[in-house]
Amino acid sequence: MYRESIYKCYEPAVTPQNVNDNEKYWFAFCENKMLIKVENNNYSIPYLNNLQQINISPVRTQYLGLYKGCPCYSAEIASEEYIPVGMEFIALRALFELIDMDLFLLAGKAYQIVLWDQSNQFCGRCGSPTIEPPDERAKKCPKCGLIKYPQICPAVITAVFKDNKILLAHAKAFKNNIHGLISGFLEPGETLEECVQRELMEEVGIKVKNITYFGSQPWPYPNSLMVGFTAEYESGEISVDGTEIEKADWFSPDNLPELPSQVSIARQIIDWYTQKGL
């Protein structure tokens, strides 16, 4: 799933330069579903002056910046009770490959900002209503001074290789018989490499060496950043934890199980492995 940087066509901002702009991209969410225009099996982001044009009154809106010179806004919608003609509410993750990739990535950003905005209307320390500084994406408490920025939770995901085989695991959260890579969230005080080592030991009981950065991917479900690594097997026998991982094994490129969706960096790393024929 290689892609060029979104910043070739997107300029982030928190304050619109021209509040009288006409049409805008609207990334409007009701819980985890986004409002999408559907016409002849074509899916697109609503492009309107405002949501009131389609009889929707958002709870709150947030300016995101410019995409190819066009203003972009995210919006929180309270209910799915009213759906405009020719539109649908669709789960964000299901929109992969249905809309333009850059807009899909922007939708992920919009979703995270909507959730952050929703959860930080009041100060978490003293309970006072927060305000938004005009020059940065933040919530500030005017009483105690606490500042809250959008939360990003880093997680590692690692492909381990041994004798030309890759370690794949089936987690309890996976559907059907899908097998993916070992992953987990960074803990306080850890480096990313230490997180790789700890997660592999905790979940499948093995040690690794030669940990190498592969790439990263925003994962807005709801607010993660997946940091991908490759590593070489060092020692230990596979012993699944039984809590998160149900089964795991070594697989060769010509004998792979059911794999994760191509939306994920896990699949990107697995496809790289099979193409390289490690």
Q: Does 139 map to a domain?
A: no
Q: Could you tell me the CATH number of the domain that includes residue 83?
A: 3.90.79
Q: Does 31 map to a domain?
A: yes
If pLDDT is split at 50, 70 and 90, which confidence band does 17 have?
Answer: confident
Domain identity same for 89 and 28: yes
- For 40-69, how does the pLDDT look when each residue is reduced to its tens digit (9 = 90+)? 999 999 999 999 999 999 999 999 999 999
- For 178-205, how does the pLDDT look when each residue is reduced to its tens digit (9 = 90+)? 999 999 999 999 999 999 999 999 999 9
Domain identity same for 104 and 161: no
pLDDT value of residue 277: 62
Q: Are 6 and 106 in contact (CB under 8 A)?
A: yes
Nearest-angstrom CA–CA distance, 211 and 233: 10
Q: Could you tell me the CATH number of the domain that includes residue 230?
A: 3.90.79.10
Q: Is the pLDDT of residue 13 over 70?
A: yes
Q: Is the pLDDT of residue 20 over 70?
A: no
- Name the helix (H) or strand (E) containing 160: strand 153-162
pLDDT value of residue 274: 93
Task: Collect all residues with Cβ–Cβ distance below 8 Å to 232 and sequence separation of at least 6.
Answer: 160, 161, 162, 208, 209, 210
Q: Does 143 map to a domain?
A: no
Q: Are 47 and 23 in contact (CB under 8 A)?
A: yes
Nearest-angstrom CA–CA distance, 69 and 11: 8
Nearest-angstrom CA–CA distance, 47 and 37: 9
- For 125-146, how does the pLDDT look when each residue is reduced to its tens digit (9 = 90+)? 999 999 999 999 999 999 999 9
Please give the mean pLDDT across all residues of the chain: 94
Q: Does 239 map to a domain?
A: yes
Average pLDDT of the residues in 19-48 = 92
- Helices of type H across 84-231: 101-119, 192-204
The residue range of the domain holding 62 is 6-119
Burial of residue 102 (number of CB atoms within 10 Å: 0-12, 13-18, 19+): middle
Give pTM, 2 decimals.
0.91
Q: Choose among 128, 20, 107: nearest CA to 64.
A: 107
The number of beta carbons lying within 10 Å of the beta carbon of residue 56 is 22
Lowest mean pLDDT among 9-13, 18-22, 82-86, 221-225: 18-22
Domain identity same for 92 and 158: no
Of the residues 63, 97, 119, the one at which a domain ends: 119
**Count of domains in the chain?**
2
Q: Choose among 251, 274, 255, 249: nearest CA to 169.
A: 249
Average pLDDT of the residues in 263-276 = 94
Q: Does 131 map to a domain?
A: no
